Structure formats: C-alpha cells, structure tokens
C-alpha cells in the first residue's frame, strides 16, 4: 500500500457504502492501522488530508493545529469547456494534455518546480492529480496559492503589453505563450472557416468561461468568432497579425487577444466547487493512491511524470492501466443512455439505449456506476 509522507500528521476520511455520513478525523500511526480499519469496515472511498496537523484526530478543525500542506493541482475533465464525459476517451485525452501542459509549460519553467518533489496520479475517474511536496511551499497560505492559479489561468495578462517581448526568440513565460498562441489561434480560425463546427463550439466555450470568470465584457459569441475567422482570410491582414500587429483586426483585436489567453491557459476549474478550490484549500482531502474510485470502479494510480506526456511512446493509458477489477468474468449489461462512448483497453463501447452488451466485470462496473447501463441476466 502507498503510504502518504508524514503519515502521523494526516487526517483520514472515509465514505461508507450507501452514501452514509463521511467518517472524519481518523488518524493512524502506521499503514497496518489503515489496513485493519478498511478490512474491518470496508469503505466506498478513501481520502487523506493534503494538510499536516499536529493533532489530526481532534474533532474541531481549530484544535488540530495546522502545520502546513501539500500543493495539489486537480485537473478534472468535467470542467473542460465544450467537452463532455459522455465521450470519455476524448475527455481523458484532452485532460491529460492539460495536465502535461500544466507541468511542462507552467510549473517547471515558470516556477522552477523540481520533479523530485512531484507525484502524479490518475484520479480514478475524470482526470489527474499533481501532488507537489517541496518543503519550501508547505506553509503557503490560500492567497499565495491563489496567485499560482491566477498565473496559470492567465488572469490579468495583457496580451497587447507582451507583443513586443513575444517577438524575442528567447521569450519566456506568458510572452512566449503569446508568440505561440498567435499561430495556434490563427490555425484554429482557419479550421473554423473551413467548417469545423466542433472546434468552434469548444473554442467559444473556453472563451466564454474565461470571460465570465474574470468579468470581461466584449465579443464572445460563435458569430463573432466566425467573423474573426473570415477576417483572417485576407492575406495582408493575416500577415500583419502573424507578425504581432493585432491592431489590424480593428474592433476584433480584443477578441483575438482573449482567444490567445483562453487557448494558452490551463483549465483549473469553472464555477462552483472547482479544481481551483483544491489548489488553494490548505485543509483539503485527496483520494488515496491505490484505492478505487467509487464513481468508476477504477484505481487511483500513481505513475512517472514522463508518462504523463501524451506524445511519449510510453504514455500512460488510464483506460487500460487504471482498470482494477476482473477482466475474466463476463457479464451482460443493457445500455440506458444514448451517445455515451467508453473504452476499456482496446475495446470501444459506443452503443445506444436498449442495446445489450457482454463485457468484463471491470467494464460493466464502470458503465453501471456512470449511470450508463444496468445489469441484466
């Protein structure tokens, strides 16, 4: 069993089967105690605190005496604009790209994070967790952690102020992102002009989510993005934009700048209970690696950072390596929803409501827990 560092300072939380009241304020001196507890009282889900406490067993938070906390980045595909978990393989593919970008484009180059302090896990359901345990960051308060999130999201970044720096081949940080973002957005606008309606929906949803979060006014609809795509087809205007002269777009210049920011940032949540909350909350609970996720039946799985890279020849495949239950026993399920797509190893499930599917226990568990199927005899 994987052991959280500084085990004695962690609070544990367990959610029982049947949706009962979570069991909080548990602490253990060693993993044998955790094992005994779970064997005696099997649980639906297992969590441990990201915080370190002097007295983790105390019932009142004020009495626990906070000592510090890990820095956690929780990337969940449920928060991706324009992406639905009913196309589960695509959602996982996109969120893995986001998780790799978070490390490769932000945490390591911008903040100097060291891989030696990093733990990467598949959440067991819709995303990935990056646990960072450099002692220098243990005592960061919520406001300091919020500043990290704001930088990653590009909040407050003025693209127009970075255009000159972005032309420098040695540009770093958001200046470098603006340079690559101009090319990326222009290419995507070309695809939209050629009729890529899916990209139009995704791009517009990301733009609107960012503008709503930051309270930004201005052009944001599909029609405005389509008009911008049309404007970009004029060769002289296009060349000026690619050269960093965005004012060539006139009243669509601000829309183009906002698209760059939305395209270059990493999604760390939307409204309500968000992934941002996980990062800034210094008293958070996180799923225990090695446990099963109660909404999928898949294992919370640790793996090396190098395998987070989706372009790696040995990239982590959570829809194969995250499977924990039996692949041997075959059961029958009836699909109860339309348009739901799943994958288990190399098998794609793309069936309509009412169809009967024979699949292994692990796949059946996933489909039933997702509410996409029911067991049949």
- Say how far apart CA 129 and CA 285 lie, in whole Å: 12
Per residue in 159-210, pLDDT (tens digit) is 999 999 998 988 889 999 999 999 999 999 999 999 999 999 999 998 998 8
Mean pLDDT over residues 249-262, rounded? 94
- Say how far apart CA 134 and CA 32 lie, in whole Å: 27
Q: What are the contacts of 189-193 at 24+ separation with CB within 8 A?
A: 189/225, 189/228, 189/229, 189/232, 190/229, 190/232, 192/225, 192/226, 192/229, 193/226, 193/229, 193/230, 193/232, 193/233
Whether pLDDT at 242 is above 90: yes
Grade residue 274 by pLDDT with cuts at 50, 70 and 90. Answer: very low
Specify the DSSP class assigned to residue 170. T
- Say how far apart CA 260 and CA 256 lie, in whole Å: 6
Mean pLDDT over residues 116-121, rounded? 98
- Say how far apart CA 168 and CA 163 lie, in whole Å: 9
Whether 1 contacts 28, CB under 8 Å: no
The hierarchical CATH code for the domain 325-376 is 3.40.5.70
The hierarchical CATH code for the domain 7-151+270-319 is 3.90.920.10
SS3 at position 347: strand
Task: Quote the radius of gyration of the chain (alpha carbons, Å).
Answer: 23
For the chain, the average pLDDT equals 93
- From the list 300, 317, 301, the residue with the least C-alpha distance to 309 is 317
- From the list 326, 321, 318, the residue with the least C-alpha distance to 365 is 326
Specify the DSSP class assigned to residue 252. G
Please name the residue that has the structure tokens 């994070």.
113
At 356 the pLDDT is 97
SS3 at position 160: helix
Whether pLDDT at 96 is above 60: yes
At 268 the pLDDT is 59
- Say how far apart CA 156 and CA 1 lie, in whole Å: 43
- Say how far apart CA 190 and CA 241 lie, in whole Å: 13
Grade residue 291 by pLDDT with cuts at 50, 70 and 90. Answer: very high
Nearest 5°: the CA angle 219, 225, 226 is 135
Mean pLDDT over residues 357-369, rounded? 97
Whether 112 contacts 148, CB under 8 Å: no
Grade residue 154 by pLDDT with cuts at 50, 70 and 90. Answer: confident
Whether pLDDT at 155 is above 90: no
At 270 the pLDDT is 36
Whether pLDDT at 375 is above 50: yes
Q: How far is CA 358 from CA 185, 331, 367, 372, in A?
A: 44, 6, 12, 14
Please name the residue that has the structure tokens 């909080």.
24
What are 52's two structure tokens?
A: 């370190």
Per residue in 296-331, pLDDT (tens digit) is 999 999 999 999 999 999 999 999 999 999 999 999
Query: For a pLDDT cut of 90, what percent of the chain falls above it?
Result: 82
What are 173's two structure tokens?
A: 């940080």
Grade residue 80 by pLDDT with cuts at 50, 70 and 90. Answer: confident
């Amino acid at each position: 069993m994987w052991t959280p560092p500084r085990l004695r300072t962690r609070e544990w939380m367990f959610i029982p089967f049947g949706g009962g009241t979570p069991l909080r304020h548990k602490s253990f001196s060693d993993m044998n105690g955790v094992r005994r507890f779970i064997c005696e009282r099997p649980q639906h889900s297992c969590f441990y605190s990201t915080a370190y406490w002097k007295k983790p067993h105390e019932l009142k938070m004020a009495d626990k005496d906070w000592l510090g906390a890990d820095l956690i980045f929780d990337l969940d595909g449920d928060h991706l604009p324009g992406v639905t978990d009913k196309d589960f393989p695509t959602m996982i593919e996109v969120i893995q790209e986001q998780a790799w970008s978070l490390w490769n484009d932000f945490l390591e180059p911008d903040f100097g994070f060291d891989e030696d302090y990093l733990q990467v896990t598949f959440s067991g359901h819709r995303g990935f967790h990056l646990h960072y345990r450099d002692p220098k960051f243990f005592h960061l308060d919520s406001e300091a952690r919020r500043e990290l999130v704001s930088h990653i999201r590009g909040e407050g970044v003025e693209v127009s102020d970075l255009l000159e720096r972005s032309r420098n081949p040695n540009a770093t940080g958001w200046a470098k992102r603006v340079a690559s973002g101009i090319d990326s957005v222009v290419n995507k606008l070309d695809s939209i002009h050629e009729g890529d309606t899916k990209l139009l929906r995704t791009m517009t949803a990301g733009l609107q989510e960012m503008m709503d979060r930051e309270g930004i006014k201005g052009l944001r609809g599909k029609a405005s993005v389509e008009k911008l795509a049309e404007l970009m087809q004029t060769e002289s205007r296009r060349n000026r934009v690619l050269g960093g002269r965005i004012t060539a777009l006139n009243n669509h210049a601000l829309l183009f700048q906002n698209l760059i920011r939305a395209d270059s940032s990493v999604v760390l949540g939307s409204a309500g209970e968000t992934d941002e909350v996980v990062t800034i909350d210094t008293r958070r609970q996180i799923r225990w690696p090695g446990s099963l996720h109660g909404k999928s039946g898949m294992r919370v799985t640790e793996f090396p950072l190098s395998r987070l890279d989706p372009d790696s020849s040995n990239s982590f495949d959570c829809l194969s390596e995250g499977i924990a239950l039996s692949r041997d026993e075959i059961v029958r399920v009836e699909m109860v929803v339309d348009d739901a797509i799943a994958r288990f190893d190399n098998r794609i499930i793309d069936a309509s409501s009412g169809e009967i599917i024979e699949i292994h226990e692990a796949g059946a568990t996933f489909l039933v827990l997702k509410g996409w199927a029911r067991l049949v005899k």
